Amino acid sequence: MLGADSTTDDVLAGVDLTGRTAVITGSSGGLGLETARALAARGAAVVLAARDRVKLDAAVAQLRDQVPGITVDSVLLDLADLTSVRAAAAEVADRHPVIDLLIDNAGVMACPLGRTTDGFETQFGTNHLGHFLFTTLLKEPLATAVAEHGSARVVVLSSGGHRLSPIRWDDPNWERSEDYFNWTAYGQSKTANALFALELDRRWSSDGIRAFSVHPGMIATDLGRHMQAEDFEYLSSVRRTGADSADGGRAVFKSVPQGAATTVWAATSPALEAHGGAYLENCSVAEPVDDPDATHGVRSWARDPDQAVRLWELSEDLVGA
């Protein structure tokens, strides 16, 4: 029985991915690199996408040591620069005309107020808009995978942090920056990830491309590099009991293989065919929970189909798709 303690290898036991290709963003370390390792160990060719060439090359070398004989490629991708996103998508599509799995894993968390190259608030721009453009530009190789292999999937990394904020429709990019709060911005970006997967599945499922969003759990990775003492204090103040908490509200951290388990489950489980667009946690479909004290489940604002359509249309406008 899979659950919160399951690892990537538990999820993929007995799974054969030979002949399949997976593209994973943010895969030079942490959850992305573990996702790549686990999929490659089951026969998939993997394409690592990240913004640092030195780290990418090190990740490729590490994978080749861990899984001898694998097929691995890499591409530079800076999600905070739409020119880079377009170039990376073109490069990936040219070299890999069939993509079976696209894992939108990269992200930033709790940043100070900043702007992407194109002027978007850093977390909304990187976590959502960069992935929105990258994914939509790769529809053709995903559709080719459906034609050749019968299916394709997109997995978008959201977070339990989506509970911190719905989409701020009146000012999603904090153009009135005096009210900026890094955790509200992070929450909005993670809500956007969930809504993106929901609408992507609605639009593309008729083509055989299914999409899911994932809450990986709390994992100690480089994602938290921007956090200061006040950020940890804030998280402690909002934490209650629930799926990610131990007695007394203490956070329970997962290992990296446990944190990536729901991602690879989303990418491969046949049990999810009837649950396209779902938000997943602990290798299961999350229940809708709007109790403000709950630290499990998915908020209704991240499952609202009308907001998902509105976000898609806004995103197309912002990225010029």
Catalytic site includes residue 186? yes
**Which residue is associated with the tokens 């499922």?**
205
**C-alpha torsion sign, points 109, 115, 118, 120:** positive
Structural contact between residues 296 and 243, judged by C-beta atoms closer than 8 angstroms? yes
- Catalytic residue chosen out of the listed positions 190, 269, 279, 315: 190
Structural contact between residues 72 and 40, judged by C-beta atoms closer than 8 angstroms? yes
Catalytic site includes residue 237? no
CA-based nearest residue to 118, from 108, 130, 134, 131: 130
**217/228 Cα distance (integer angstroms):** 20
Catalytic site includes residue 190? yes
- Catalytic residue chosen out of the listed positions 165, 186, 213, 269: 186
Structural contact between residues 174 and 125, judged by C-beta atoms closer than 8 angstroms? no
Here the tokens at position 54 are 């030195």
Distance of CA 276 to the CA centre of its chain: 15
- Catalytic residue chosen out of the listed positions 158, 159, 213, 315: 158
Residues noted as catalytic: 158, 186, 190
